[in-house]
């Protein structure tokens, strides 16, 4: 049986793969070792200290981390911890949202005064505002992660603003190109490894000139990153575009 000292020398992504293949010892090791990471990720959502022994949110985060282990794929190009942090935060946000939306229990005598009758409308308003705040937090988390991914490709949000195609047809064409790039396994792996467009190979697969590919290179790479990651909100902007 492999001891903890030996486990430390094994790459994290390799550990995850072994767990996916049924290694229970590694699974328990990771769930134990990364509890501080999980607590920190949960704390960033809850905006307070999280006690692993007392807070329900930590249990949600721990379960989400375990789920991330089995749903992670290195083909997407992101590190496991980057992926796991997104999954943990998303699950905790969903948990908070669910608990805020649960109806309040009715009193047993079913009697209400005028003030109590006003409460349901107030509750609805508060819940709606809270839901919007949670969505805002979630979007910010995705954008921050997206900015980090852009850095890996030596890109910035300012680059995208300056180089994004101005006309709708041109943008749709660039998104379509990014989808073709992402769906091709060999080209996808090339981009993940080299962090650049395989223009010579890509021009053979799309109805776009080499000059256009080079002009829209940064925008295509950015869309490729969105397609490669588990971005719920950013992907909403691409629905129906370049299909």
Start-to-end Cα distance in the chain: 50
- Domain-embedded: residue 187: yes
Task: Go through 9-28 and write b for each residue having 16 or more CB atoms within 10 A of its CB, e for each that does not.
Answer: eeeeeebbbbbeeebeebbe
pLDDT of residue 74: 76
pLDDT of residue 133: 62
- Domain-embedded: residue 174: yes
pLDDT of residue 107: 38
Domain boundary among 102, 120, 144: 102
Domain boundary among 55, 71, 102: 102
**What's the burial of 87, exposed, middle or buried (CB within 10 Å: 0-12/13-18/19+)?**
buried
Residues 96 and 167 in one domain: no
- Domain-embedded: residue 56: yes
- Domain-embedded: residue 136: no
% the chain with pLDDT above 90:
38
Rounded Cα gap, residues 7 and 12, in angstroms: 9
Which CATH number does the domain housing residue 29 bear?
Answer: 1.10.1740
User: Which tokens hold the place of 123?
Assistant: 């509750």
User: Which tokens hold the place of 166?
Assistant: 């101005």
Domain count, the chain: 2
- Domain-embedded: residue 148: no
- Domain-embedded: residue 119: no
Residues 13 and 97 in one domain: yes
pLDDT of residue 229: 83
Of the two residues 176 and 96, the one the predictor is more confident about is 176
Domain boundary among 63, 78, 102: 102
Q: Residue 73: is its pLDDT beyond 90?
A: no
Query: Mean of the pLDDT values across residues 61-77?
Result: 86
Q: Residue 150: is its pLDDT beyond 50?
A: yes
User: H helices of 153-167, where?
Assistant: 157-163
- Domain-embedded: residue 124: no
pLDDT class of 75 with cuts at 50, 70, 90: confident
Query: Model confidence over 126-144: pLDDT tens digits?
Result: 455 555 666 676 677 788 8
Give the residue numbers spanning the domain of 218.
Answer: 157-236
Residues 94 and 177 in one domain: no
- Domain-embedded: residue 227: yes
Of the two residues 184 and 94, the one the predictor is more confident about is 184
Residues 162 and 225 in one domain: yes
Q: Residue 84: is its pLDDT beyond 50?
A: yes
């Amino acid at each position: 049986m492999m001891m903890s000292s030996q486990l430390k020398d094994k790459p994290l992504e390799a550990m995850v793969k072994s767990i996916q293949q049924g290694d229970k010892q590694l699974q328990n090791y990771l769930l134990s070792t990364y509890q501080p990471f999980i607590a920190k990720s949960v704390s960033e959502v809850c905006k307070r200290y999280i006690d692993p022994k007392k807070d329900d949110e930590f249990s949600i985060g721990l379960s989400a981390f375990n789920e991330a282990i089995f749903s992670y794929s290195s083909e997407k190009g992101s590190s496991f911890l980057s992926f796991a942090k997104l999954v943990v935060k998303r699950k905790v946000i969903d948990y908070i949202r669910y608990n805020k939306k649960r109806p309040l229990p009715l009193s047993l005598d079913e009697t209400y005064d005028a003030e109590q009758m006003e409460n349901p409308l107030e509750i609805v308003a508060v819940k709606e505002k809270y839901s919007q705040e949670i969505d805002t937090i979630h979007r910010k988390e995705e954008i921050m992660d997206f900015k980090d991914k852009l850095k890996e490709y030596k890109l910035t949000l300012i680059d995208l603003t300056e180089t994004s195609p101005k006309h709708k047809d041109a943008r749709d064409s660039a998104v379509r190109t990014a989808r073709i790039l992402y769906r091709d396994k060999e080209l996808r792996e090339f981009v993940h490894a080299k962090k650049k467009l395989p223009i010579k190979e890509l021009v053979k697969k799309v109805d776009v000139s080499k000059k256009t590919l080079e002009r829209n290179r940064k925008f295509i790479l950015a869309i490729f990153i969105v397609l490669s990651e588990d971005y719920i909100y950013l992907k909403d902007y691409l629905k129906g575009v370049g299909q």
